[in-house]
Amino acid sequence: MKQQEYYESLREKYPEFIYHAYTIEEGEESIKLTYDFEIPGLSHFAPTWTIPEKRTGAKDDPVFQNLVFSLGMVELISYWKISCPKKVVIEPAGLNEAQIKWWKHLYFHGLGEFYYTNGITETEEDFMTITADGPVFAPAKEATVLSESCLVPVGGGKDSSVSLELLNGTFSGNYIYIINPRGATTESAAVAGYDEEHILSVKRTLDANMLRLNKEGYLNGHTPFSAIVAFSATIMAYLAGVKYIVLSNESSANESTVEGSYVNHQYSKSYEFEKDFHDYEKNYVNSGTYYFSFLRPLSEFQIAGLFSKLTKYHPVFKSCNAGSKENIWCGHCSKCLFVWLILSPFLSQEALTKIFGRDMANDPEMQHFFDQLIGLSPEKPFECVGSRDEINAAITLTIRDYPEGAELPYLFRHYKETGRYEQTLPVAEAYYDYYDAQNLLPDPFTRALKQRLLALKG
């Protein structure tokens, strides 16, 4: 059976998804959130979150309840996608028409890769209906006054490390936020100088029934994880009394993964989502927090340049999904290759080999990923990678400045054969001066960022 037919058959067999409830259990040191989802006739699901208790009495706070309910709204999409029911019923609270439209937009664009890779054709108007007839949460009449400190979500890669260093010495009383800590996240926090009191770690647990159904062949694929980061980080910042939620998403995340389409692996890292979330939180919650990406004006090229100077992070940073459980760079995937290439104008091939454990630039088996990254294929890899143009710029500058008399690695010789070196050379340095004015940075953060950019160009 073709995937489109399978999709339609599942929607007919399981036409409804229900968000029944959320529960909040306060302990002495933590708060446990449990969600109750159901696809009638298929399964119940009860994912959980365990978060540090930073403020007593949170359970009875209507702003906190609104945020917990909203986290359930984004969490449910991971379970809905198992059979993609046509109707979604929201029971814990109501939503107005504008909110329903907002959630449908997030779900549809956040599932763009899911639909594309599963060979499913669908429209934003028809892929689901949402009914939510209960009492609507009213936004707070006055936003809570919070400290001018920052909560910085850290995933263990180069981008959040750059944000941490940009904030050091400029803003005080900051916290690191980590979902399901692993080696690279905790080690990056330690290198940045944060103590346990200022590292806020939460545990997110997926329901075993979902994992079982995935193994049995029900629909599976990418969901907008960064939207989960947005809502959960807002909960944590609100509990900790911190105003600024400082993301590390760059301008490059706006580019579609499939050329000429809306399909973007990084949709929930895009400026579109950032602005949508920022407005939704203000209009329908009004917690007093301020969500934005510090690195939004920058390209991955500039972030790589800044990170190349942060040598204390080089032994600990990791952003390879294939090697995440072992806390390693696998050295064989498109994400590893991208990070290698974007750092290559700023670090020697020897330094890169030391970081990644192997010489990817001399591996002919990496050519398929390489060709995707430079735009010879209409699809970039479905990973968090930079734009096609800046990857070409990074490779071109690396080749231009390669040690005289040294033989170019295999992938760079292949690159010259494509003719892209000559095409890109006249414009390759443009990314040193890149600055995307479409951003939400408050003025103090803008000043701090521009000072570092001047140092990078120098």
Closest by Cα among 392, 400, 388, 401 to 424: 392
Token reading at 444: 């103090």
Closest by Cα among 177, 168, 183, 195 to 315: 183
E-strand stretches of 4-102: 16-26, 30-39, 43-45, 48-52, 87-90
Residue 453's pLDDT band (cuts 50, 70, 90): confident
Residue 58's pLDDT band (cuts 50, 70, 90): confident
Kindly report the length of the chain.
458
**Arithmetic mean of pLDDT, 60-73:** 97
How much is the mean pLDDT over the chain?
Answer: 95
DSSP alpha helix (H) spans, 241-361: 271-284, 300-308, 334-343, 349-356
pLDDT tens sequence across 372-397: 999 999 999 999 999 999 999 999 99
Going by DSSP bridges, is the β-strand pair 175-179/48-52 parallel, antiparallel, or unpaired? Answer: unpaired
pLDDT tens sequence across 298-347: 999 999 999 999 999 999 999 999 998 899 999 999 999 999 999 999 99
Q: How far apart are CA 265 and CA 258, in angstroms?
A: 9
pLDDT at 355 over 60: yes
**Arithmetic mean of pLDDT, 43-65:** 91
**Arithmetic mean of pLDDT, 154-165:** 96
Identity (one letter) of the amino acid at 138?
A
Q: Degrees (nearest 5) of the Cα angle 29, 70, 286?
A: 90
Eight-class DSSP state of 315: T
CA distances for 186 relative to 157, 200, 340, 356, angstroms: 11, 11, 22, 19
pLDDT tens sequence across 187-218: 999 999 999 999 999 999 999 999 999 999 99
Per the CB < 8 A criterion, the answer to whether 76 and 103 are in contact is no
Token reading at 430: 């443009």
Per the CB < 8 A criterion, the answer to whether 48 and 179 are in contact is no
Identity (one letter) of the amino acid at 386?
G
pLDDT at 456 over 70: no
**Arithmetic mean of pLDDT, 113-141:** 96
Identity (one letter) of the amino acid at 349?
Q
**Arithmetic mean of pLDDT, 38-55:** 94
pLDDT tens sequence across 426-440: 999 999 999 999 999
For residue 57, the model assigns a pLDDT of 78
Side-chain half-sphere CA neighbours of 162 within 13 A: 28
Q: How far apart are CA 294 and CA 271, in angstroms?
A: 12
For residue 416, the model assigns a pLDDT of 96
The lowest-confidence range among 34-48, 91-105, 315-329 is 315-329
For residue 458, the model assigns a pLDDT of 54
**Arithmetic mean of pLDDT, 113-131:** 96
3-class secondary structure, 439 = coil
For residue 55, the model assigns a pLDDT of 74
Per the CB < 8 A criterion, the answer to whether 83 and 210 are in contact is no
pLDDT tens sequence across 397-418: 999 999 988 999 999 999 999 9
CA distances for 138 relative to 167, 284, 285, angstroms: 34, 7, 7
